[in-house]
């Protein structure tokens, strides 16, 4: 059956008072822009928090001995005191399709001294070539260069350098408890200084070639504390961890494979909270819009009481009259959605690719232990665009229910009296 | 209700209208002419008594059933034309046909052909794509006539169809309505002050104070 005249009437009625239609459609379209942009910013902030929080040092996924966390004892290396085939482990982790790169690490903790100054430090033994693809610290150098393998070079944070009053080429002394119960100590040359922006890292962390730290803390070359990995997408880390755990299980090493969602549950909680806020934003913005549309539709339908009475007299059922009003509202919603999309997507592309930099207002800040740059970066979310579009159409329809019911209840005899 | 008190608009009306006859309901303003027309069309229901339309007791029908009955059997002509402003002349004429098709749960046969034919019969073949605002009053009422006959109604109800037209245009509309009424074999029920129009009817019913004060047969249908 061909569509009745009611859709035509609903659609064309939008053109009867174009200014009113344009104002209402503009309100809904800007509501769409506001929601998509706000949600995009929330998602952008969340994405930056996760990226920064996982990429600065921790990586998106880590492999440890089952007993290593949370105490992080120096002798709880992967594979226990016998150690493991590190190259094979790295190969198995990197073989997962979601993994971008993997790097082995050794940790130690002790005193870092220079002259009269001494500070506590966390020492990280790294393979600089691999580490560069897993974390960002080696890219945050403010001076010098990463430590060369096979040397006694060390990379320290800018705050540690300030506290120790050292610069590139200066020597520092490390005194650390070793895995065999002895105290390891040696002289190291500062090859580089990094500045991550995170106070804890810049004041306490130092990085050196992995074999150099293994020597210092008396660990064999096959004994490491951690394999850290980066993923192509942070949200793929949980599934990748499951696959890698299953892949490594036959080796019988007694290891844990944990994604960032378990290593940094507070970040996951925030991401989930942000998603819940997306709905709050939708409800608030379109909740306000409902009253604007309701006002417009009430005025429009009141002006058309006689038209509805004629339609009822000609044999239109009250339900069909209501349908005409709802068709008009839905047409208005579609028009607004198209207008909203036209103004929203260029703004989204701009804010995604060249987010306005607000560093002239305030500097970097930390959020859940992640360094956030003051930029209005937005993330694309097709799902939220669609849901916001549906919310816009529902707003138009819900706002028109009452006017539609009133229109269907127009008393034709009284209204047509004297026509 | 008027001023919080019940108001009796019609009383003791006992009227039977023969099929294919033309009946004019006349009387002064406030005599209940339009209310009677609304009751006969099922737009309203009487608080007492009953109305039967083409053998169907309207009192027993729901609002939707009465709407369906009107779509199938009743045509309307209004004093102020009352075309739907967002539809073209052709689309306005199509409305009752589409409603009838829906009521009968099937598509009408060639509804556009029927609508075009009616517009041609009222002399508006070249104005079918014009909107009401682009038509003169007389043209709008001719579209109203075409719309009223579109669903081949058994009864045509016209409420002051020439009330908003000048004498010449009103005369043209009257002639058209009478001619179409004869050609289509429709029962015509006219509410009018226009004596020229009333004179075209077979029977004149005069109301006063809500009661029939005269029921005069002028000619045979």
Q: Do B63 and A318 touch (CB under 8 A)?
A: yes
Question: What's the per-residue H, E or C state across A336-396?
Answer: HHHHHHHHHHHHHHHHHHCCCECCCCCCCEEECCEEECCECCCCCCHHHHHHHHHHHHHHH
Q: What share of chain A is helix, strand, coil (3-state, %, to 5)?
A: 55, 20, 25
Q: Are strands A99-114 and A61-65 parallel, antiparallel or unpaired?
A: unpaired
Nearest CA to CA, how far is A306 from chain B (Å)? 8
**Closest C-alpha among A225, A192, A190, A194 to residue A371:** A194
Tokens of A133: 């693809």
Choose the mutation target among B58, B67, B75, B137 for the interface with A, i.e. most A CBs under 10 Å. B67
Q: What is the pLDDT of residue A407?
A: 93
Nearest to B43 among A2, A16, A412 (CB): A412
Domain-embedded: residue B8:
no
Shared domain check, A192 and A91:
yes
- Give pLDDT, residue A324: 86
Domain tally, chain A: 2
- Kindly indicate the confidence band of residue B101, based on its pLDDT and cuts at 50, 70 and 90: low
Write down which residue in A244, A260, A276 finishes a domain: A260
What are the tens digits of pLDDT across the range B33-85? 888 988 998 988 888 899 999 889 999 999 889 988 998 899 988 888 889 88
Residue B1 in any domain: the answer is no
pLDDT value of residue A30? 93
Closest CA to A35 of A331, A294, A386, A295: A386
Q: Is residue B69 part of a domain?
A: yes
Are residues A192 and A79 part of one domain? yes
Mean pLDDT of chain A: 90
* Closest among A17, A137, A9, A104 to A407, alpha carbons compared: A9
Average pLDDT over residues A314-323: 87
Do residues A123 and A237 both lie within one domain? Answer: yes
Residues 6+ apart with CB under 8 A from B183: none
Instruction: Tell me if B86 and A1 make a contact (CB, 8 A cut-off).
Output: no
* Interface contact flag, B69 A5, Cβ < 8 Å: no
Mean pLDDT of A348-365: 85
Amino acid B221: pLDDT: 64
The percent of residues in chain B predicted with pLDDT above 70, rounded, is 93
Residues in chain A within 8 Å Cβ distance of B151: 315
Is a pLDDT exceeding 80 seen at residue A102? yes
Q: What is the CATH number of the domain that holds B85?
A: 3.40.50.300
Average confidence (pLDDT) over A19-30 = 91
Query: In this prediction, what percent of chain B has a pLDDT beyond 90?
Result: 28
Across A54-204, the runs of DSSP E, i.e. the strands, are 61-65, 99-114, 117-126, 141-144, 153-157, 171-177, 183-194
Domain hosting residue B106, numbered range: 22-217
Residue B4 pLDDT class (50, 70, 90 cuts): low
Contact call for A315 and B99, based on CB within 8 A: yes
Please name every residue paired with B86 in a beta bridge, in sequence order, or none if there are none. none
User: What confidence score (pLDDT) does residue A316 get?
Assistant: 85
The highest-confidence range among A246-260, B76-90, B150-164, by mean pLDDT, is A246-260
Residues A27 and A90 placed together within one structural domain of the fold: no
pLDDT at B2 (0 to 100): 54
pLDDT of residue B144: 92
Which of the listed residues A260, A283, A300 is the one where a domain comes to its end? A260
Task: Check residue B193 and give its pLDDT.
Answer: 82
Rounded to whole angstroms, how far apart are CA atoms A389 and A405? 25
Mean pLDDT to the nearest integer, B179-184:
84
Residue with the bigger pLDDT between B5 and B202: it is B202
For residue A14, what are its two tokens? 């939008």
Q: Are residues A293 and A382 in the same domain?
A: yes
Alpha carbons A182 and A192: distance in angstroms, whole number: 28
Where residue A225 falls among pLDDT bands split at 50, 70, 90? very high
Cα Rg, chain A, nearest whole Å: 32
What is the least distance, in Å, from the CA of A400 to any CA of chain B?
A: 19
Looking up tokens 């009352």 gives: B82
d(CA B196, CA B207): 18
Secondary structure (DSSP) of A177-215: E-TTSSEEEEEEEEEEEE--S-HHHHHHEEEEEHHHHHH
| Residue A121 shares a structural domain with residue A236 | yes
Q: Are A106 and A225 in contact (CB under 8 A)?
A: yes
Q: Does A405 touch chain B (CB under 8 A)?
A: no
Q: Are residues A356 and A230 in the same domain?
A: no
Whether this model's ipTM surpasses 0.90 comes out as no
Question: What is the rounded distance in angstroms from the CA atom of residue A306 to the CA atom of residue A286?
Answer: 31
Cis ω for the linkage preceding A70 (within 30 of 0): yes
Torsion region of B160: left, alpha or beta (phi above 0 gives left; psi -120 to 50 gives alpha) = left
Q: Identify which has the larger pLDDT, A357 or A4.
A: A357
- The length of chain A is 419
What's the gap between Cα A3 and its chain centre? 45
Let me know if residue B13 belongs to a domain. no
* CB spacing of A419 vs B78 below 8 angstroms: yes
pLDDT tens readout for residues A374-415: 888 898 888 889 999 999 999 999 999 999 999 999 988 888
> Residue A321 and residue A309: Cα distance in Å, rounded?
9
Nearest to B43 among A16, A316, A413 (CB): A413
Q: List the single best residue of A16, A314, A418 to mutate versus B (max B Cβ within 10 A).
A: A314
Q: Is the pLDDT of residue A1 over 50?
A: no
Q: Give B207's contacts (C-beta < 8 A, 6+ positions apart).
A: B25, B26, B27, B31, B32, B33, B36, B213
At residue B105, the pLDDT reads 47
The yes-or-no verdict on residue A203 having pLDDT over 80 is yes
Same domain, A108 and A211: yes
User: For B8-20, what is each residue's pLDDT tens digit?
Assistant: 778 888 999 998 8
Contacts of A319 in chain B (CB under 8 A): 64
- Please indicate whether residue A11 or residue B107 has the higher confidence score (pLDDT): A11
Tell me the per-residue pLDDT of A111-153, one tens digit each, with 9 for 90 and over: 999 999 999 999 999 999 999 999 988 888 999 999 998 899 9
With a cut of 70, say whether residue A89 has pLDDT above it.
yes
A2 confidence band (pLDDT: 50, 70, 90): very low
Residues A78 and A95 in one domain: yes
A64 shares its domain with A143: yes
Flag whether pLDDT at B102 surpasses 90: no
What is the rounded average pLDDT for all residues in chain B?
85
Give the end of a domain, one of A260, A293, A325: A260
Sorted by sequence, the CB contacts under 8 Å of residue A118 that are 6+ apart come out as A111, A112, A164
**Inside any domain, residue B2:** no
A265 close to A241: Cβ distance less than 8 angstroms:
no
Q: Flag the least confident range among A38-47, A154-163, A229-238.
A: A38-47
Higher pLDDT, A89 or B31: A89
Domain count, chain B: 1
pLDDT at B204 over 90: yes
In which domain, by residue range, is A148 found? 59-260
Q: Could you tell me if A143 and A181 lie in one domain?
A: yes
Average pLDDT, integer, range A320-325: 88
Question: What share of chain A has pLDDT > 90, as a percent?
Answer: 62
The answer for residues whose C-beta is within 8 angstroms of residue A71's C-beta and 6 or more apart is none
Decide: residue A69, CB within 10 A, 0-12 exposed, 13-18 middle, 19+ buried.
middle
Domain shared by A171 and A222, yes or no: yes
Mean pLDDT confidence for A55-69: 92
pLDDT at A4: 61
Contact A99, A227 (CB under 8 A): no
Asked if residue A419 has pLDDT above 50, the reply is: no
Model pLDDT for residues A146-194, shown as the tens digit of each residue: 999 889 999 999 999 999 999 999 999 999 999 988 999 999 999 999 9
């Amino acid at each position: 059956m061909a569509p009745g005249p009611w859709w035509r009437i609903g659609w064309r009625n939008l053109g009867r008072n174009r200014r009113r239609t344009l104002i209402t459609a503009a309100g809904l379209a800007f509501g769409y822009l506001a929601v998509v942009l706000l949600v995009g910013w929330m998602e952008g902030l969340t994405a930056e928090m996760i990226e920064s929080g996982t990429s600065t040092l921790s990586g998106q996924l880590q492999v440890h001995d089952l007993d290593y966390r949370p105490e992080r004892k120096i002798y709880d290396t992967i594979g226990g005191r016998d150690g493991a085939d590190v190259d094979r482990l790295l190969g198995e982790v990197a073989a997962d399709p979601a993994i971008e790169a993997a790097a082995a690490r050794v940790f130690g903790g002790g005193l870092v001294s220079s002259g009269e100054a001494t500070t506590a430090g966390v020492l990280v033994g790294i393979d600089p070539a691999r580490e560069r693809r897993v974390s960002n610290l080696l890219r945050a150098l403010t001076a010098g260069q990463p430590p060369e393998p096979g040397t006694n070079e060390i990379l320290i944070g800018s705050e540690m350098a300030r506290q120790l009053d050292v610069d590139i080429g200066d020597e520092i002394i490390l005194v650390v408890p070793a895995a065999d119960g002895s105290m390891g100590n040696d002289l190291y040359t500062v090859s580089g200084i990094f500045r991550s922006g995170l106070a804890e890292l810049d004041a306490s962390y130092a990085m050196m070639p992995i074999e150099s730290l293994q020597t210092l803390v008396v660990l064999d070359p096959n004994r490491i504390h951690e394999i850290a990995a980066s993923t192509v997408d942070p949200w793929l880390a949980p599934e990748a961890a499951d696959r890698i755990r299953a892949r490594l299980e036959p080796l019988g090493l007694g290891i844990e494979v944990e994604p960032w969602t378990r290593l940094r549950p507070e970040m996951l909680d925030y991401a989930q909270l942000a998603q819940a806020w997306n709905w709050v934003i939708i409800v608030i913005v379109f909740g306000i819009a409902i009253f604007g549309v309701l006002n417009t539709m009430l005025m429009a339908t009141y002006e058309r009481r006689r038209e509805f009475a004629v339609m009822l007299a000609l044999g239109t059922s009250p339900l069909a009259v209501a349908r005409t009003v709802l068709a008009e509202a839905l047409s208005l919603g579609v028009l607004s959605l198209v207008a909203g999309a036209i103004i929203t997507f260029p703004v989204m592309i701009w804010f995604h690719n060249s987010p306005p930099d607000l560093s002239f207002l305030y500097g970097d800040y930390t959020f859940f232990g992640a360094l956030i740059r003051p930029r209005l970066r937005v993330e694309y979310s097709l799902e939220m665009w669609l849901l916001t579009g549906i919310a816009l159409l529902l707003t138009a329809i819900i706002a028109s229910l009452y006017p539609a019911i009133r229109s269907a209840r127009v008393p034709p005899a009284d209204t047509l009296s004297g026509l | 209700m008027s001023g919080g008190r019940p108001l009796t608009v019609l009383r003791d009306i006992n009227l039977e209208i023969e099929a294919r006859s033309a009946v004019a309901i006349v009387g002064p303003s406030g005599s209940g002419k339009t209310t009677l027309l609304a009751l006969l069309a099922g737009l309203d229901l009487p608080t007492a008594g009953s109305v039967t339309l083409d053998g169907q007791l309207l009192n027993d029908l729901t609002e939707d059933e009465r709407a369906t009955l009107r779509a199938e059997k009743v045509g309307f002509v209004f004093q102020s034309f009352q075309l739907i402003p967002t539809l073209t002349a052709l689309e306005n004429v199509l409305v009752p046909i589409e409603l009838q098709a829906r009521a009968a749960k099937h598509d009408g046969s060639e509804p556009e052909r029927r609508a075009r034919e009616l517009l041609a019969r009222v002399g508006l073949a070249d104005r079918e794509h014009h909107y009401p605002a682009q038509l003169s009053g007389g043209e709008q009422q001719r579209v109203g006539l075409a719309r009223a006959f579109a669903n081949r109604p058994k009864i045509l109800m016209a409420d002051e169809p020439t009330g908003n037209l000048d004498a010449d245009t009103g005369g043209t509309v009257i002639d058209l309505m009478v001619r179409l009424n004869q050609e289509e074999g429709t029962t015509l029920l006219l509410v009018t002050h226009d004596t020229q129009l009333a004179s075209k009817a077979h029977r004149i019913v005069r109301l006063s104070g809500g009661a029939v004060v005269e029921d005069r047969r002028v000619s045979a249908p």
